[in-house]
Amino acid sequence: DVQLVESGGGLVQPGGSLRLTCAASGFSLSSYAMNWVRQAPGKGLEWVSGISGTVGATYYAASVKGRFAISRDSSKNTLYLQMDSLRAEDTAIYYCAKSDAIVLVDKRNNWFDFWGQGTLVTVSS
């Protein structure tokens, strides 16, 4: 069975850093596009970042570009999100989500078929 388990969330001051981890099981991370999607308290969903399977090309929402970095360790079957220069508006539950597609490009089957339970990131002084 596919499972995604996030960890690494917590309370951090504005300007601080945090690294989120998503441990995957039941499939190979590098065979699919993987994503981070966040949800601010009581709000909707926002796609934050993604990484294509195989080649590993990375993509970011404009709101986090230059501050966040997505990566993966295929040997550990684990996805990461390094978050730097955090702001209050980054406060959210961060979900790891698997795409049905291999690559994260236009006109592919990039719906999210499996989600983790999420990890809460709170940016506050």
Partner 1 sequence: DIVMTQSPDSLAVSLGEGATINCKSSQSVLYSSNNKNYLAWYQQKPGQPPKLLFYWASTRESGVPDRFSGSGSGTDFALTISSLQAEDVALYFCQQYYSTPLTFGGGTKVEIK
Residue 98 C-beta: closest distance to partner 1, Å = 10
Residue 54 C-beta: closest distance to partner 1, Å = 17
Four-point Cα dihedral 106, 57, 43, 17, nearest 10: -160
Residue 35 backbone zone (phi > 0: left; psi -120 to 50: alpha; other: beta): beta
- Closest C-alpha among 87, 89, 72, 56 to residue 23: 72
Q: Judged by CB, which is closer to partner 1: 13, or 63? A: 63
Residue 74 backbone zone (phi > 0: left; psi -120 to 50: alpha; other: beta): alpha
Q: Judged by CB, which is closer to partner 1: 44, or 75? A: 44
Residue 75 C-beta: closest distance to partner 1, Å = 26
Give the C-alpha separation, 116 to 84, whole Å.
22
Residue with tokens 């506050």: 124
Residue 120 C-beta: closest distance to partner 1, Å = 12
Q: Judged by CB, which is closer to partner 1: 73, or 100? A: 100
Interface residues with partner 1 (CB under 8 A)? 35, 44-47, 50, 59, 61-62, 95, 100, 104-113, 115-118
Q: Judged by CB, which is closer to partner 1: 30, or 35? A: 35
